[in-house]
Structure 1
Amino acid sequence: MQQLDERLKGQYASLSPQEQRVADFIFDHFDDLISYNSAELAQLSGVSKATVSRLFKRLGYDKYKDMRDELRTLRQSGMPLTDQRDAVQGNTLLARHYKQEMANLTQWVNALDARQFAEALTAMVAARRIVVVGMRNAYPRRCICASSCCRPAARCWCCPSRVRALAKSWSI
């Protein structure tokens, strides 16, 4: 499934001048597109509502609402709609997701201070015990960290996920 911007780029040359005005507006305001209805898009791009309707039918949508629903689904799934768009190119959703994750990791690694990171690793290796904390949304990350970073397991104490269990387990 092609995303909206890919569909527009692919058909841009064959669009009428009025449809190109809508496409240009979409390219310039892609982040805000999900918040506009078709009448607002027509008004903001300076064309008729019928032009907007024809454009989205040409792009393969039955109605404008179908395109908004598609964008909403992509956004809710975590797919960035425009942030770092150059890093998110590919033929499939999986390929684009992979490339975005790689871009995120690269940005994180570049932001790390190598000296501080080495000091943290040295301290972890020398520690008698490592306590791993992760509550609510951080709980899955805590499990991953505990299973992959804490070897041998006897040196690692995982903070329980519920506060009541936490109070019972303070005797580490």
Structure 2
Amino acid sequence: MDKATVDRLIKEKFVLLPPTLQRAARYAIDNPRAIALHSMRTVAGNAGLQSSAMHRLARHLGFDGYESLRNVYREWLSRSAGPFTDRATALQQRKGRDKTDTLISEMIAADSNNLHQMSNADTLAALRTAKNRLATSGHIYTVGLRSLFPAAFYFNYACSMFMRNTTLLSGTGGISFDELRHARPGDTLVIFSYEPYARDALSAARFAHEQGLHIVAITDSVISPVAPHAEALIVVENTTPSLFPSIVPVMAIAQTLVAMLVADGGRNSLGKIRKSETQLRDLQIYVQPGKSLPSGKSHHRP
């Protein structure tokens, strides 16, 4: 059975369903990605229902339980992402003011919803698992390629302010992920990965798993190729009318993980942050408050 068949069954059976199951059915129709990505408890909670309601809906539709229904939505989600050309075409087909005011509103609304979904129980539990693993890792390697590189760079850079055991896997100079050759069991790989999934990022995840590393994955689906390897699987919504899937949620996850690590870092972290600030000040990396930028030109006559 595919999602189109499920949608048809829901529409055919809707008027015969009791009110509670009608609410569950309406939620499934309106939020198919949520069904694919989240547990029965989380979905039911977001719909304002008891968990049993989602199970009963699945049985009414001919499934043996919620997970069987969810598998249909997972399969649909794995095939539903359109190519970039389709996204660009949809943007250009907008008319008049729809290209400006409405588009801006939809962009903001989409990311507001993406961020709101981060507060579900599954994501919170995964964040706690990730923080605990990172806090006890021998070394932390981070990878995020192409549009997700900013999230990986931010996470590694921010952590370097108070940790001395982080490495960004950037592939600079065509060396791919040679740094992982030095990794040991007990180290951790943090990977940011969205569909379409970058081949090199997946290769890094597989290699790290084979070497006995722990893996923290920030991705867009429970059926992501990195999911089977992850000890902490943080699934984020990335819906947007823009060209690429939104990177706002992964940036928020990166910032949240850093904040959690600092919050639990104690005096050791504070000492390293003070030292980093002193070094940056001594190196004159930033313009000091109240001082203007040097012009680079002499005001003296020759």
* TM-score interval, normalised by the smaller of the two chains: 0.3 to 0.5
User: Which structure has more strand as a fraction of its residues?
Assistant: 2
**How does the TM-score come out when normalised to structure 2?**
0.26
User: Which structure has more helix as a fraction of its residues?
Assistant: 1
**How does the TM-score come out when normalised to structure 1?**
0.43
The structure whose RCO (Cα within 8 Å, separation 6+) is larger is 2
